[in-house]
């Protein structure tokens, strides 16, 4: 079976204590080591899937804060690293998804665009 978005490549979790979350992933399922990004989160690979941990560091309004207020800690997003970004976004919107945010991870590079 194929998906219109490509394979799942990242699972993003919102956590309240990033150091405790990294220990959980290392000591529980054995995922790690984590690359800690000061004030931005942490990343680790588990085969072809990247685990991203995001700790909110301020109270500025964002869809991350909305998520935490409604659901608490947990899986916030599933990322597909597609070769056809514009077509993937169009398909998601046609299927009823709502775009909350868009940007680039590496400014200026069209293949690093993302949308939530």
Residue spans of the domains in the chain: they are: 7-81, 83-116
Give pLDDT, residue 58: 85
pLDDT on residue 109: 65
How does pLDDT run across 42-92, given as a tens digit for each residue? 999 999 999 999 998 888 888 888 888 999 999 999 998 888 889 999 999
pLDDT for residue 11 is more than 80: yes
Q: What burial class does residue 11 get, using C-beta atoms within 10 Å of its C-beta: 0-12 exposed, 13-18 middle, 19+ buried?
A: middle
How far apart CA 96 and CA 40 sit, in angstroms, is 30
Closest CA to 3 of 84, 103, 98, 114: 84
Burial class (CB in 10 A: 0-12, 13-18, 19+), 116: middle
Rounded CA-CA distance 88/38 in Å is 31
> Which CATH number is associated with domain 7-81?
3.10.180.10
Beta bridge partners of residue 54, listed in sequence order: 14
- Residue 113 confidence (pLDDT): 85
């Amino acid at each position: 079976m194929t998906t219109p978005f490509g394979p799942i490549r990242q699972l993003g979790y919102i956590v309240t204590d990033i150091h405790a979350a990294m220990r959980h992933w290392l000591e529980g399922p054995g995922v790690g080591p984590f690359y800690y990004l000061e004030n931005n989160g942490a990343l680790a690979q588990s085969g072809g899937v990247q685990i991203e941990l995001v700790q909110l560091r301020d109270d500025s309004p964002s869809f991350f804060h909305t998520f935490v207020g409604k659901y608490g800690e947990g899986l916030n997003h599933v990322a597909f690293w597609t070769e056809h970004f514009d077509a993937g976004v169009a398909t998601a919107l046609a299927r009823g998804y709502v775009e909350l945010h868009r940007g680039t991870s590496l400014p200026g590079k069209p293949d690093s665009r993302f949308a939530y």
